[in-house]
Amino acid sequence: MAAMNYTASIPQTDDAISTQVVAVDNVFKSFGDQRVLNGVSLTVNRGETLAVLGRSGSGKSVLLRLIIGLQSPDSGAVRINGDGIAGLSLDQLGVYRKKMGFLFQHSALYDSLTLEQNVAFPLTHHNSGMPVAELSDRVRLLLSEVGMEGHLNKMPADISGGMQKRVGLARALALAPEILLLDEPTAGLDPISASEIDDLVLKLQAEHHMATIVVTHDLYSAKTIADRLILLDMGKVAVEGTFQELVESHDAFAREFLKHT
């Protein structure tokens, strides 16, 4: 399959808008003289998992920050459910961020809080009026979903890296998001733990039917959990498609990338 460059604007048909949750349309982003994204376009639908691959420094994490509104594109648009989010105030952005769950690369759990308190944090922050009993039930259900129901009172330092990722996923799901953003979910894990996280992501996707974007260097993980993949090179989408289409691509960078991963 020939490489496909997605630098044109995304056609917005009625059917596409009804299923698209995230749309990145011809986005450019530079930091000083360094151009990181050079006309990137992508879409993610409900119930779909998109893996974003590329070399270090290729703009994968910048893409996540644009989607969550931590940064704005120099040009182009980022849309959530059809609404552009660039230039919104923090309060306006907050409405969209409540629809997103984010798993950080290193889980980013609060060291001074128990696992139960870590998972409860988004709920107490955004739903301060939630009854204590309801909050407790919700947290226990979330930890049960990720296989951590027996560890409520442990501290992050007392559990393994794989278990921390599980708790991070539980916290990401706290507000029942429409969008799940995963930054290197298997980084630093042994092969067994990484495979368990992949299985968990598949399970949660089947249960919650979210639009999921995974930034990863782990090609096996991407193959396992993603419906589609994009490969970034020089700030552009070099190849987009299924894992098999990536393998069969004649794009020179795709072949080099696969050879070294």
Segment 202-214, tens digit of pLDDT: 999 999 999 999 9
Model confidence at 142: pLDDT above 70: yes
Nearest to 122 by CA among 71, 170, 61, 65: 170
Rounded to whole angstroms, the Cα distance separating 140 from 172 reads 14
Predicted pLDDT of residue 42: 95
- Its CATH architecture, for the domain 1-99+178-186+209-261, is 3-Layer(aba) Sandwich (3.40)
11 — pLDDT class (breaks 50, 70, 90)? very low
In this prediction, residue 17 has a pLDDT band, given cuts at 50, 70 and 90, of very low
For 152, the 3-state DSSP assignment is coil
The answer to whether residues 182 and 201 touch, using CB atoms and an 8 Å cutoff, is: yes
Cα–Cα distance, 212 to 205 (Å, whole number): 8
Query: For the chain, how many residues are written?
Result: 261
**Domain residues of the chain, as ranges?**
1-99+178-186+209-261, 106-176
Contact predicate 185/104, CB 8 Å: no
The letter for the amino acid at 91 is D
Going by C-beta distance under 8 Å and a sequence separation of 6 or more, which residues neighbour residue 203? Answer: none
Rounded Cα gap, residues 224 and 107, in angstroms: 21
**Residue showing tokens 């849309």:** 79
Chain mean pLDDT for the chain: 89
pLDDT in tens, 177-186: 999 999 999 9
pLDDT at 127: 66
pLDDT tens-digit map of 84-103:
998 889 999 999 999 999 99
At which residue do the structure tokens 């509104």 appear? 69
How does residue 244 score in pLDDT terms, banded at 50, 70 and 90? very high
pLDDT of amino acid 230: 96
What pLDDT digit, counting tens, does each position of 100-111 carry?
999 988 878 999
Contact between 115 and 165 under an 8 Å Cβ cutoff? The reply is no
- What is the rounded distance in angstroms from the CA atom of residue 233 to the CA atom of residue 54? 6
Residues in contact with 144: Cβ distance below 8 Å, sequence separation at least 6, in sequence order:
none
- Sheet hosting strand 49-54, strand order edge to edge: 100-103, 179-183, 211-215, 49-54, 228-233, 236-241
The pTM (predicted TM-score) of the whole model is 0.87
pLDDT > 90: percent of the chain = 75
Query: Buried (b) or exposed (e) across 94-103, using 16+ Cβ within 10 A?
Result: eebbebbbbb
